[in-house]
Amino acid sequence: MKTGGSGGDTPRSPGLSAIFKGGIMHSRSFNILIADDNHDNIHLLERRLRNENYIFYTALDGQETLDQVEQVSPDLILLDVNMPVMNGFEVCRRLRDNEATRSIPVIIITAAKTSIDDQITGLGLGADDYITKPFNSRDLIARVERKLQVKALEDELRRQKEEMSAVLLSAADAILRIDANKRIQFCNPAARRLFNCTTSPTNLRYDDICSNCPGLKMGFKQIKPGASKQTAGYEVEMDDGKTIFINVSAISASNQQHDGWVLVLHDISRLKEIDRLKSNIIANAAHDLKNPLSSAILYAEMLVESIADQSS
């Protein structure tokens, strides 16, 4: 069930704009699922968390909670432990066992008389936080906003990762990520085509896939072991006649230690062919300018031959 987020004179949340000063979300709204079999508790939580960016959904038992999660994809679940059909602990366990719901933050809301063992059980099943009733409004607001902030950051990182993955997978250039032991950690489709690999060569050594073209290894010799923020570029003639320009960049880990390389391989065969044709045209033009008489004689001979052919 979807409900509104207004009512009451309880303290309002200061809003996410005060938290996300970097503008990650701007006017993004959040779906909050309140799972509790007590309507009064649900209404109380909605009033305490009143915020224009929050959209509330409710569930009155454990099974309905799981059904609502599937339908609305909540950004946060406020979960009561003592519910009919299925208790909050079992709901939490099922959420964490499901890949699609594993990352949804869960705050368990329980009575003050709940034992420490029960709280440990909930946290052990994957709950992110615990709030006991009766709760302090400011504490509730702060905890909810903190969980939503983390969720928003995780969503943004996931989105950026998906965008980057799409770019790498669709790139026309071959791109490889190689670790410090020269084992391939990432290889996009263009790289697999370049090296004639039917499957991803991940975890193979780079030397293994370029054994027939020693020139492909040159970049590693140009960057000293342990170097960081260094790049090298060079051309390589492949066995099939293609000319490849390779850019090799060293990668540093967070501790500034050498962590491998990124290779970008660009097929410049067509550019090389255009350069060759251009050079030939310029050379021929220069030759004609230096020898205008011989060019005229050659043209006259061709004209005579053409007339003779037409006459016969």
Higher per-residue confidence, 255 vs 52: 52
- Render pLDDT for 184-221 as a digit per residue (tens, 0 to 9): 888 899 988 888 787 777 778 887 777 666 667 665 66
Clarify whether residues 144 and 254 are in a common domain: no
Work out the percent of the chain whose per-residue pLDDT is above 90: 29
Interatomic CA distance for residues 186 and 264, integer angstroms: 12
- C-alpha span between 248 and 228 (Å, rounded): 12
Check which CATH number belongs to the domain holding 121 and give it: 3.40.50.2300
| Average pLDDT along the chain | 78
- Measured distance CA(300)–CA(124) in Å, rounded: 96
Does 156 lie in the same domain as 14? yes
State the angle between helix axes of 292-311 and 269-290 in degrees (0 to 180), rounded to the nearest 10: 100
Residue closest to 98 by CA, chosen among 78, 69, 75: 69
Per the structure, the complete domain to which residue 300 belongs is given by: 271-311
Does residue 177 or residue 303 have the better pLDDT? 177
pLDDT class of 95 with cuts at 50, 70, 90: very high
119 and 262 co-located in one domain: no
pLDDT digits (tens, 9 = 90+) for 70-90: 999 999 999 998 899 999 889
What are the structure tokens assigned to 161, written together?
């990762």
Q: 121 and 26 share a domain? A: yes
Count how many domains the chain has: 3
Q: Which tens digits make up the pLDDT trace of 257-300?
A: 667 888 888 888 777 777 777 776 776 666 556 666 565 666 56
Statement to judge: residues 179 and 119 lie in one domain: no
User: What is the reported pLDDT for 17?
Assistant: 47
Rounded CA-CA distance 298/20 in Å is 78
The answer to whether residue 63 scores a pLDDT higher than 50 is yes
Same domain, 88 and 162: yes
Q: Do 190 and 307 fall into the same domain?
A: no
Q: In angstroms, how far is CA 91 from the centroid of its own chain?
A: 30
